[in-house]
Structure 1
């Protein structure tokens, strides 16, 4: 099985006012021609936001933006008319389409916020759309929110009685969010990734949690 492991410490780092971002792929000022995408997936950014900090309204087009909160509460508003607070256990999607603005702020004046934000090339080219989905807390392999791309996002929380089996695809990416996960015999910690190509299945074990992208389209 062709695969590659990228460790958390290999991520590119951007420091801002009250925000520290860890990039799994080329992003912003960080450019590596060998690490610009994995199928339609073009960004996995871990955002570490100080109390009261965050990002004021900014614009995106032609991209799916999927957000998963790790710690704290994220105050989100966008030009679809949606505004609310996202906590751990909810997957959020903004399909920017022909153009959308959104703002993402730490909802707490005293507690830190950490979230993972992922971006994919989108097939949605009309008015922007918003969606969210609650994910069960128990162990298992859980579907999340639909995206307008040839991609499926799952949350994997392995069981103690055996590994989870993820159906293969042209590409599968496992991004660990907490604890320890063993994917295809490789031990992964928070921020580590396994990127596998042309696989029949991926086995995931351990006591942690991972975001798993199934990407049937190899492009």
Structure 2
């Protein structure tokens, strides 16, 4: 086990990309933003919080050798890929795409929620899509591309840490090709308390929305993150309605 370290990364220190339809804030080097000392945290190499305007998005583009997990906070994304998979990714849906040997896909804010569920109709979309997309390096390269998604119960997210994606936990909603990685999510009301899940070598904690106080660290607001290496489990207290995303990462 490496020496215990705690590294706080504030929201205003993240790389930022702005266009007329996109605001993207990256935790690690991404695209035109490069810092040789910040290219990832263990197998977690992309952690982008993105806001995509209504009726716009990422048209078809390629990926390879990445486990891509997308967590939507509000709005929705329409996913389509060259393997024939499609879906509407919305809050409370666990979703991942294993790019493997190579895949083409698109993600667009083209769906709205009607009285009978989500529908694809770009002209009627008014809400931006607010989501976090994360890439994990797979244990093996060149795998056959695949896709999975599963509905989650919001009550389960509010009850404690929920394993959303994992390479080894059989109770996770979806599986990824990274044996030592698990993605957890929880939603907290003011006054709620959580203990970080049992630690492996590394923990990456991100405040997707809200404000919390973390033992030995202090207050964290929306967009703030903590990278923990070899630390003991810490207690988190919610100061406002909060949504926390956590990666438990092995070697």
* Equivalent residue number for residue 204 of structure 1: 236
Contact 1:44 1:119 in 2 (8 A): yes
- How big is each residue's C-alpha offset from its partner over 1:180-203, in whole Å with a ceiling of 9 and x where there is no partner? 122334211111101100123232
Question: 3-state DSSP class of the match of 1:167?
Answer: coil
Contact 1:133 1:144 in 2 (8 A): no
Please, which runs of 5 or more residues in structure 2 have no aligned partner? Answer: 112-124, 166-174
2:133 to 117, 124, 135: 117
Shift of 1:70: 1.0
Are 1:151 and 2:151 matched, yes or no? no
Contact 1:171 1:196 in 2 (8 A): yes
Moved more, 203-212 or 167-176: 203-212
- How big is each residue's C-alpha offset from its partner over 1:115-157, in whole Å with a ceiling of 9 and x where there is no partner? 1100111124221011123333132110102221121000023
* Equivalent residue number for residue 145 of structure 2: 128
Q: How many residues align?
A: 217
The separation in 1 between residues aligned to 2:91 and 2:58, in whole angstroms, is 19
Are 1:66 and 2:69 matched, yes or no? yes
- How big is each residue's C-alpha offset from its partner over 1:46-98, in whole Å with a ceiling of 9 and x where there is no partner? 11111111000100111111100011011111122111211101121101000
Change (3 A) 1:29 1:136: same
Question: 3-state DSSP class of the match of 1:191?
Answer: coil
Contact 2:6 2:231 in 1 (8 A): no
Contact 1:176 1:189 in 2 (8 A): yes
TM-score, length-scaled by structure 1: 0.93
The separation in 2 between residues aligned to 1:127 and 1:210, in whole angstroms, is 31
Alignment RMSD, CA only?
1.6
Question: 3-state DSSP class of the match of 1:9?
Answer: helix
Runs of 4+ in 1 over 3 A off after TM superposition: 158-162
TM-score, length-scaled by structure 2: 0.81
